[in-house]
Amino acid sequence: MQHVIRPRWGMGALRLGMTRPEVLRVVGEPDHIEEDDEAGAMRVGWHYDRFEFSLYFDEDCDDRVTLIITESASAQLGSAFPIGMRADEAVRALNEFGDLARDDEVSNESLDFYSLPDASVGLLFADGVCESVDIAAYKDEDGEYVWPEADRPA
């Protein structure tokens, strides 16, 4: 499984907005599934431990993939491999995607969350080291999802 992150599109052959049957055709059955009733809407996580990523389907958007999280050291964003980087390294390495900014609402004493808002990408740091990268579905100014084209970008 390729872990090439394409902002606002997905990762490898996994596209934001995919349905469960589409995901099954691409990567097969998940290793385990979790359900969470988040603010009155069901969110289902499919975890692929063998590939080091998770996908999240949200009920409020026809059970499409709205979030992809990878913990793989082979995850590539642009020319950088952010897993294992320190925050200052990531800021320099990812500047082609805009300013990497700390999100104080999500961060706490032990975890720092940085985002690239223009790319809909987030990075989670524990003890100053990047542990995961997430690619979120983009919402427009009206709060509506804008799904990427089905064709994978070059």
Looking at the whole model, is its pTM more than 0.95? no
For β-strands 76-77 and 101-102, DSSP reports them as unpaired
Please say if the pLDDT value at position 79 is more than 70.
yes
Which residue has 């990762």 as its token pair?
11
The pLDDT tens digits of the residues spanning 39-60 come to 677 899 999 999 999 999 998 8
Query: Residues 6 or more apart from 75 whose CB is under 8 A from it?
Result: 3, 5, 11, 81, 82, 83, 133
Q: What is the mean pLDDT of residues 127-138?
A: 94
Query: Could you tell me the two tokens for 83?
Result: 């897993």
Task: Compute the chain's Rg from CA coordinates.
Answer: 15
The pLDDT tens digits of the residues spanning 6-43 come to 999 999 999 999 999 999 999 999 999 999 886 677 89
> What distance in Å separates the CA atoms of residue 48 and residue 33, rounded to the nearest whole number?
9
The pLDDT tens digits of the residues spanning 98-118 come to 888 888 888 888 899 999 988
pLDDT value of residue 81: 95
